[in-house]
Structure 1
Amino acid sequence: TLVLVALFYPEFDVARWRSQALASVFYVENWALAVAQVDYYAVDDSGSSPFQHFWSLSVQGQVFLLWPVIFAAAAVVCRRFRWRPVPVLAVAFGAVFVGSLVFSVVRTAGDQAFTYFDTRARLWEFALGSLLALAVPYLNPARGLRVVLGWAGLVSMVLVGVLVDVQGAFPGWIALWPLCSAAAVIVAGSSGSRFGVDRVLASGPLVRLGDAAYALYLVHWPLLITYLVVRDRPVAGPRSGVVLIVVSLVLAVVATRWVENPLKRWAWPERSARRLAVVVVVCLGLVAVPVLGWAQADARRAAQIAAEAERNNPG
């Protein structure tokens, strides 16, 4: 994405997108967008950051640091009072769910644009997933109920985008709709029925698409924004939209096969904490070092231009 920025984006925007790259690689892009008062639902996407989609990955990264703290605290409580872990974790995540949901509803009504990126207003969504994970082993709905839950969840998920004014509602209480829809599909699981939605979702093409979903999320947004910048358009039309989707799918499959999967199979970093730390630092440096060097080069060039202007035009 930084290469695309260097090649195709207006020079006056480059410094702003460099800082967004740093925010993304350090998992604080959501806060950078919130402070910049970015409107996620802006009609014209051509001025959007090519790193804007990293906001949700940043929230996830922050949760992945917070959740182990909750598990560790629960372990201490269970050890001290000889309590079973599932009820303790259910209470802990239930408290996070209620507190964050109330915060989300109140803040969405007051400042929806900022709250959309606010980690505190999103914690309840992850807490709901954790509560579901705790409950699923104890749930065993009948086959008929699994079929109903699966299709109801899928249809309900699609209807969110059709019926809900997401622009003014998210991430308040209305976000319960898609989350509960997804939960229904998960609880339905494998129905064992030929009429179950799992027969569709478990089909080969959809499974392969699911395998490439992470890469698809990474590549689709910078491709879209770069296209809008190059063509100087506020939105993509039907034909260009289809082309962007197809190109994104192809790149996602390629990236999954030749980048993501080989890295996941790479055992060397997992053999010691020191090796893992080295890999993490190198990954951060691959973005931070070029960005900071680029910024320094621009600063030196600006200073040189200013000095030459004074010398060439004294007084």
Structure 2
Amino acid sequence: MPEASAPPVARSSRAGHISEIHGLRGLALALVVVFHLFGNGRVSGGVDVFLALTGFLATRSLVSRIERQDLRLVDHYGRSFLRLSAPGLLVLAATAVLTVLVMPEAIWRSTVREIAASATYLLNWEMIQSQLAYGAAGPDTSPLQHFWSLAVQGQFLLVWPLLLLTIWYLARRRARVALTVLVAAGTVASFVFAWRLGEADQPVAYFHTGTRFWEIGLGALLALTLPHLRPPVVLRPSLAWLGLAMVASSGLFLDGGTLFPGPWALWPVGGAILVVLASGTTSSLGPQKFLALPPLRFIADISFPLYLWHWPLLIAYLHMTGTERPDWRAAAIIISVSMVLAWLTRALVEQPLRRTDRWLRGFPRFAVVAVLLGAVTMGSFAGIRQIDRQEAELAASADRFLDDYAGCVGAAAMDPEGSSCAVSDPEVLLELVAGYDADENRFGDCWSNRERPVQFNVCALGPESGYERRILVTGDSHNNALAVAYEKIAETYGWRIDLASRAGCHWNTRPMSARNPESAELCTQWNQMLDEHIRTNPHYDAYVVLHSARKSVQKIGDESRVEALSRGLSDAWATRPDLSVPVIAVRDNPTFTYSASDFESTTVPCIAENGLSADVACAKDRDEALRRDGSAEAVALDPNAHLIDLTDYYCGPETCSPVVGYVPVYQDGYHVTKQFAETLAPYLGRQLRDVVEGVTSPTNAGPTGKTTPSGRPGSITKPTPDGTLSPTDLATAKDSAPAE
């Protein structure tokens, strides 16, 4: 029966039905915001409810209009995407401004890419390609990450009308039955896919459109079958309250970031289904009066723009303050500002757009949407090209600077035997690097970045044939940060250096200690692949290992962190095919800060403010920067292992600086910049050659901060048999820093 001719009671029931669903959708999105700001980043399940209700409302509306032969695709797409895109484009523009004002240039390019992906409803696939996990907000998190759910919704709204029309054309009188069967089959298939992919690769599963369809599909099935599924009137109030409780409580008991959209997502989605099933009753015992309370109605009305605004404001705040998460006062301010902006967006954007239905319809409205989205996309890609050009120019300038002053800037400035030179404009290099350094794409084949299933990537640096020596270099991201140095060493000595690194992993028989047990298991799998690679490639002339000093492994008994690390390292080294082949452990670089946000909010401004004086003004005590990584102790346990300690190329006798020889040392406080790594190459290469070629015999380490008998800082050392360091090193090797 057409809606216009429905009896008054039916219209009243339908109005209450819509009102309750509107309130539920508002509550779900509001829960997302509250958990992001006050729940330490826990995922509430509100987005899952939002997607299920999208499937319900869109399917019910489209089927009704198709049955009335009242669906005009061009007009439908124009109206739907104009209302969906307009507030999104406003937030995207504001995020672009915030990015320029408060966020480091290192993330500008990725943010511009995400603006284009958000405008075209492809952000979830951009997130998958970028291998971003969805979790607690932090300064390293994308300010547009939350647009992934709009991308999934937009893809559904684009495809769904075409699919429904096709089925209606083919099945005709049995179209509703055919559609119900197909949606049911697709929903089951998507559910199984989400379950299996979640077990294999949770971050990809979280963003994947295919794993999210079952949530939308359940809503669509409900729209198709609702008249036949209505529970008895007497049960509806209880079911509605139960459903609301399930939606509101899911974030308290479940961490959706690690469990959704697998079977546990049935908790919030099932709650939403119960509310819809039980809605529309006139009983005073149901939640309709609760959902109609003025504060909840207001939240429901602004929930969509509130969801859009809160996340970029939160990320901007974390960048400005250098904190990892807001305290309750900051969270209250962020949510208050977000609510004001959401109300203004509704009043000045959403409501005026609804009034345009009287005069902007059909193809003109569709054209407006296409022009808006196309302009944002083209502008974003133009911005990416401009950023690429600027980055290329800066990189070329930095490379020319290093070439012009090779041997007297960066690590060379710490070499007593190095040559001095008059640098014409040393502040240029500080401006070029400024403590931030994009990853080298050409070393991507050397790197495994927490992907699932685990991959073992290894690349060859230097000549692939006719080489003098073949060396395997392996470790974590601290090792990969020296890739440019390994490349120069390979070219200098005619070696082939195979580089294999994985985020958060290094060659160790002990499982990594990690907050996420799944990450530790994946690291174990990578280590098994590394062992297999070493077993099947027995002709290496040396193994070079380096890992972050922040790492910890699982302990046995009353072992200390360092004891567990060193024993796991030496046990791993003992599995190499030929024990006469040396293992060379490179001590980890000093750590300037343990937090990228701290580095961004304190050290980078210090460098910018002090310029050439930053090496003194921004320095920290040496004993605060050094931490034992277990390498020295592991070397003492292996008769043919050697330690290279480059600390004196980073630090003076008493302090460590974020700028050495006019070159910024750190990208983020604990990873070295490409430029500084390049200046380390001659010194690291010389000491590697000493071991590989047997030029010198290992010697006992001198006191840290002193020169070796050769007159150079740094040394190839063989610690004492018990693995202890020198008294000075023990005094400065802190174990109090947080583990990664």
TM-score of the two chains, using structure 1 as the length reference:
0.91
Deviations 1:81-112 (A, max 9, x none): x42x3211110110111111111111111111
Instruction: Assess, with a 3 A threshold, how the Cα gap between structure 1 residues 215 and 309 changes in structure 2: closer, same or farther.
Output: closer
Post-superposition offset of 1:212: 1.1
Contact 2:137 2:315 in 1 (8 A): no
Post-superposition offset of 1:141: 3.3
Residue of structure 1 aligned with 2:156, choices 38, 60, 63? 63
* 1:215 aligned onto 2:266: no
Deviations 1:189-245 (A, max 9, x none): 133222211110122322222111111111111111111111111111111111111
* 1:18 aligned onto 2:112: yes
Q: 5+ residue gaps in structure 2?
A: 1-94, 405-740
Instruction: Assess, with a 3 A threshold, how the Cα gap between structure 1 residues 86 and 289 changes in structure 2: closer, same or farther.
Output: closer
Deviations 1:140-175 (A, max 9, x none): 433321110111001111221122243331111111
CA distance in 2 between counterparts of 1:67 and 1:59 reads: 12
Amino acid at match of 1:161: G
Post-superposition offset of 1:281: 2.5
Q: 5+ residue gaps in structure 1?
A: none
Q: Superposition pairs for residues 136-175 of structure 1, below 5 Å?
A: 136-175=226-265
CA distance in 1 between counterparts of 2:96 and 2:358 reads: 28
Post-superposition offset of 1:289: 3.9
Q: Which moved more, 1:131-140 or 1:216-225?
A: 131-140
Q: Superposition pairs for residues 54-133 of structure 1, below 5 Å?
A: 54-79=147-172, 82-83=173-174, 85-133=175-223
Secondary structure of the equivalent of 1:246?
A: helix
Determine the structure 2 residue equivalent to 1:28: 122
CA distance in 2 between counterparts of 1:141 and 1:314 reads: 77
* 1:50 aligned onto 2:140: no
Determine the structure 2 residue equivalent to 1:281: 370
Amino acid at match of 1:276: R
* 1:245 aligned onto 2:335: yes
Instruction: Assess, with a 3 A threshold, how the Cα gap between structure 1 residues 278 and 178 changes in structure 2: closer, same or farther.
Output: same
* 1:290 aligned onto 2:290: no
Instruction: Assess, with a 3 A threshold, how the Cα gap between structure 1 residues 226 and 73 changes in structure 2: closer, same or farther.
Output: same
Post-superposition offset of 1:305: 4.9
Post-superposition offset of 1:276: 2.7
Post-superposition offset of 1:270: 4.2
Amino acid at match of 2:323: R
Amino acid at match of 1:53: H
CA distance in 1 between counterparts of 2:374 and 2:396 reads: 32
Instruction: Assess, with a 3 A threshold, how the Cα gap between structure 1 residues 230 and 140 changes in structure 2: closer, same or farther.
Output: same
Determine the structure 2 residue equivalent to 1:190: 280
Instruction: Assess, with a 3 A threshold, how the Cα gap between structure 1 residues 269 and 45 changes in structure 2: closer, same or farther.
Output: farther
Q: Which moved more, 1:69-78 or 1:12-21?
A: 69-78
Secondary structure of the equivalent of 1:53?
A: helix
Contact 2:243 2:275 in 1 (8 A): yes
Give the aligned length.
310
* 1:199 aligned onto 2:289: yes
Post-superposition offset of 1:314: 8.5
The structure number with the bigger radius of gyration is 2
Residue of structure 1 aligned with 2:322, choices 224, 232, 256? 232
Amino acid at match of 1:292: F
Contact 2:244 2:272 in 1 (8 A): yes
Instruction: Assess, with a 3 A threshold, how the Cα gap between structure 1 residues 220 and 308 changes in structure 2: closer, same or farther.
Output: closer
Q: Kindly, what percent of the aligned residue pairs are identical?
A: 37
Instruction: Assess, with a 3 A threshold, how the Cα gap between structure 1 residues 245 and 138 changes in structure 2: closer, same or farther.
Output: same
CA distance in 2 between counterparts of 1:293 and 1:99 reads: 40
Deviations 1:1-20 (A, max 9, x none): 11111111101111111111
Instruction: Assess, with a 3 A threshold, how the Cα gap between structure 1 residues 236 and 137 changes in structure 2: closer, same or farther.
Output: same
Contact 2:113 2:384 in 1 (8 A): no
Q: Which has the higher contact order (CA 8 A, sep 6+)?
A: 1
Contact 1:150 1:198 in 2 (8 A): no
Instruction: Assess, with a 3 A threshold, how the Cα gap between structure 1 residues 156 and 303 changes in structure 2: closer, same or farther.
Output: closer
Post-superposition offset of 1:295: 2.9
From the two aligned structures, give the one with the greater helix fraction.
1
Contact 1:269 1:276 in 2 (8 A): no
CA distance in 1 between counterparts of 2:281 and 2:241 reads: 11
Determine the structure 2 residue equivalent to 1:134: 224
* 1:262 aligned onto 2:352: yes
Post-superposition offset of 1:313: 9.0
CA distance in 2 between counterparts of 1:60 and 1:172 reads: 18
Instruction: Assess, with a 3 A threshold, how the Cα gap between structure 1 residues 220 and 309 changes in structure 2: closer, same or farther.
Output: closer
CA distance in 1 between counterparts of 2:251 and 2:315 reads: 22
Post-superposition offset of 1:277: 3.5
Contact 1:269 1:279 in 2 (8 A): no
Q: Which moved more, 1:176-185 or 1:134-143?
A: 134-143
Secondary structure of the equivalent of 2:145?
A: coil
Contact 1:8 1:229 in 2 (8 A): yes
Contact 1:160 1:178 in 2 (8 A): yes
Contact 2:120 2:377 in 1 (8 A): no
CA distance in 2 between counterparts of 1:156 and 1:15 reads: 40
Post-superposition offset of 1:30: 0.3
Amino acid at match of 2:98: L
Contact 1:22 1:287 in 2 (8 A): yes
Instruction: Assess, with a 3 A threshold, how the Cα gap between structure 1 residues 5 and 77 changes in structure 2: closer, same or farther.
Output: same
Post-superposition offset of 1:285: 3.8
Amino acid at match of 1:66: V
Amino acid at match of 1:229: H
CA distance in 2 between counterparts of 1:268 and 1:283 reads: 20
Determine the structure 1 residue equivalent to 2:269: 179
